[in-house]
Amino acid sequence: MKRLLDLARLAVGMPGITSAVGSVMAEAGSVCLEGEGHAEAAPLQVDGDFHAEFVLQRLEVSEQMRRAHQFETTATERGACGVAALLIGELTPYTILEEAKKGSYFDYWLGLPGGFLFQGAARLEVSGIRRADESTVRDRCKVKSEQIDRSPEPIPGFVVVVEFSRPLASWEPWSWQHRIPEILAAYLGKMDHLLA
């Protein structure tokens, strides 16, 4: 039996998403899904590192919602962030703690529910695509993985690309282990400078 991923749950909020922001994400995602011809309940395929199937439940879309989310790029990104936030809660032990600052190379800080700020922290980079083929989705995952790789912190993370025409969520973990030599060299360089 497929699990339910209900966009209306976003209106409850999370530690790093207010109920108002969550409601905007739910509306935007619903407008995107309706715009791609999906009924109020549509199958959502998750592929990449995790393989799962959900029933993605959208809101009933009003004319006012359509007018409020006409800028397709913004609606797609907001909707994708909402879907990704719900998937994080379903597929990992994490929740959204806070939005990352500009220039961080990722969108959200993740943490354990009820834990201290950044205890068990990870990062989340999200991208939304209204309609594209699988190759384009894979390419976007690669680009976003390279983007999160530019962040200086050696903290694990996730890249989630949401494509609304199928709908599909491509999910890739990001690990900093391949950067250990670079991190050690930078640390040792600082130590040499301090000892000189």
pLDDT above 60 for 183? no
The confidence score (pLDDT) of residue 50 equals 78
* pLDDT exceeds 90 at position 151: no
pLDDT of residue 188: 62
Confidence of residue 174 (pLDDT cuts 50, 70, 90): confident
**Integer Cα distance of 67 and 165 in angstroms:** 20
* Domain boundaries, given as residue ranges, for the chain: 3-195
